[in-house]
Amino acid sequence: MENSKHNHHSVYIDRFDDVKILQYRFDEFENLPLDKKILVYCLSQASLAGRDIIYDQNYKHNLLIRNSLESIFEKYSGDRNSKEFELFTNYLKRIWYSNGIHDPFSKEKIKPEFSEHYFHHLIENSFEGSLQKFFKTTEEAKTQLSKLISNPDIAPKGLEQDSNKDIIQNSAVNFYEGVSQEESEKYYKNLQKENPLLSCGLNSKLEKQRDQLVEKTWYSEGMYSSAINNVTHWLRQALDYTENEQQTQWLKALIQFYETGDLEEFNTYNIQWLKDTQSDVDLINGFIETYSDPLGLKGTWESILHVRDREATRRTEILSQNAQWFEDHAPIEKRFRKEKVKGISANVVNVAMLGGESHPTSPVGVNLPNSDWIRKEYGSKSITLNNIASAHHEAMLQSGIIEEFAYSETEKNRHKEHGFIADNLHTDLHECLGHGSGKMLEGVNSEALKNYQAPIEEARADLFALYFMMDQKLIDLGIITTLDVAKAQYDSYIRNGLFTQLIKIKPGRNLEQAHMRNRQLISLWCYKIGAPENVIEFKKVEGKTFIVINDYYKLRNLFGKLLAEIQRIKSEGDYEAARQLVEDYGTIIDNELHQEIIERFQKLDIPPFTGFINPQYIPVMENNKIVDINIQYAQNYQEQMLNYSKNYSFLPSKND
């Protein structure tokens, strides 16, 4: 069981700034029967059709900026080999990578490295027949675009999380207009009180119009209608090729939700989707994750189309069949445990198409739905994205990171032998059991933790996974053959949490992103609380800092202790304790250590961030009938992005 295959070799496609672009493989596609191939094709189109939505959600001028820069890129007639043009191209690639002008991790505005003077020169030399679509004159184009991309005071932060500020008015995300944090919180608190079972605010923008608060719903006749109608067009085409009646049911419910914007329909869709455990082809599509909203309410648009990997899924099936055992043995107070764990389904899958928020950056695991009451009543579905994890792992093995940052030969060898299965098993436990574990006390909902909800929830799922990775139960179940798998995960988790993840942060900054905060919170808490017994130690060798775990069993107990506290915080909705943990352990970076890590990492000459390009599906037609679908792997990142802008741009670029 342990040697889960990972032969999907990743192909290095492009690199720019601190980003590498990989190609993930979906080799199993060739073996699918024709009906499933056509189903994948239709759903892949639905996964690309909503692309513009995420740009507009991230910042209201993103589409204007992206479309203008693409016009310049395609139209510019001057020297395309100059250093300045390369800097301009890199900036455009960054925008594609980030789905807008704010970095997806730091949430800071991305600074162009070319001069304003050069930018004006580009505009002058590409205005005719391209920028004319958006601006009346070259002067207007220069003024508007320069202001939007270069002025550091305009939309400096995609997402502001400093609780001393108004986090809504200081965030550039396009979820609120003309409203304060206080007004929004009050509005949604009242709404939630009236509709406790709905994900209030999930699919709308809140605006103030003539002193009234108005929600602009994202649905087929509201905001984003033209993109949404293209998504539903392809969902409808897919109905002719579904694998079974249950798959048809949830697809219809998803279409219904898009057509009405009604959050009760969204609940219906989630419940129908959870009941489908038989289909091989599955789709996550819609307004789902709420990490980008300062209040954690509004869902960004994303799509992940995936196909079950039956062989690798045996591992997750065993875990879900034993979910109750894990719940009963979790190191948390009895009153926070679920008496009966329901409907946990977990699959290892291969991605067929990424879209919206999940492209070009992709998660390696997902657990849905996010609604606490639906999880409690109907369970959850979790997936581990095998071909994405495999592409990451291949890139990591070739990078030299382990050689540079792991302390001993034992640690390095353990990583080479068990690293891939350790990461995947951690993802399985995190998604399949961690997020689905524990329960809230009566009258508490997840909104109670406000802006700390995401890091606390991610920490809870991570700790659940870390604690159980080192349990004899996993050997008894035949999932692993040695606890060295857990040790490999403990090494890499703590090393990443205290250390290597910092390469993604600019010097002098603190942690903002939920997953990064949770990883440092866990690692630093265990280091500090375990200090009297020297459980985790920092060692200096020839001026280089290393992290050494001296006692894996004591570390496991620390994971259990912190899990108990974090479960209490979530179950009771203890905002103050959540704030304290995240601020004390998950936010502040040690500048000296940060500097050292950046310098050591730079010598390896590998970009710390990863994005992916998608395969392309091409129908083979005979007499107006699809007789086959071919899969092709793109070789060029910018070609794919320009192609997407040409074929899947359904929203207008507003220049107001």
DSSP state of 112: P
Omega cis (within 30) before 360: yes
The whole-number pLDDT of residue 4 equals 44
The whole-number pLDDT of residue 10 equals 59
Q: Where are the alpha helices (DSSP H) in 27-164?
A: 34-49, 51-58, 62-75, 83-98, 116-124, 138-150
3-state class (DSSP) for residue 295:
coil
3-state class (DSSP) for residue 612:
strand
3-state class (DSSP) for residue 189:
helix
Count helices and strands in the chain by DSSP H and E runs: 24, 15
3-state class (DSSP) for residue 187:
helix
The whole-number pLDDT of residue 656 equals 54
Length of the chain: 656
Q: Distance between alpha carbon 646 and the CA centroid of its chain, in Å?
A: 25
Residues of the chain with CATH 3.30.540.30: 11-50+222-610
pTM of the predicted protein model: 0.88
Across 13-44, b (16+ Cβ under 10 Å) vs e yields: bbbbebbbbbbbbbebbeebeeebbbbbbbbb
- Taking the C-alpha atoms of residue 499 and residue 527, their distance in angstroms, rounded to an integer, is 12
- Taking the C-alpha atoms of residue 231 and residue 258, their distance in angstroms, rounded to an integer, is 9
**10-residue mean pLDDT series, the chain (656 residues):** 50 90 95 98 98 98 98 95 98 98 94 97 93 95 97 96 93 98 96 95 97 97 98 98 98 98 98 97 98 96 97 91 97 96 90 98 95 92 93 87 95 95 95 92 88 95 98 97 98 96 92 95 98 98 97 98 98 97 97 96 91 97 96 94 97 75
Q: Are 243 and 280 in contact (CB under 8 A)?
A: yes
Which H or E element spans position 457?
helix 453-469
Closest Cα to residue 50, out of 369, 284, 384? 284
On the 0-12 / 13-18 / 19+ scale of CB atoms within 10 A, 599 is exposed
DSSP strands (E only) in 357-463: 365-368, 380-385
On the 0-12 / 13-18 / 19+ scale of CB atoms within 10 A, 555 is buried
- Name the phi and psi angles at 305, rounded to 5: -100, 130
User: What CATH class is the domain 11-50+222-610?
Assistant: alpha beta
Token pair listed for 531:
């200090």
**Which residues, in sequence order, are bridge partners of residue 109?**
102
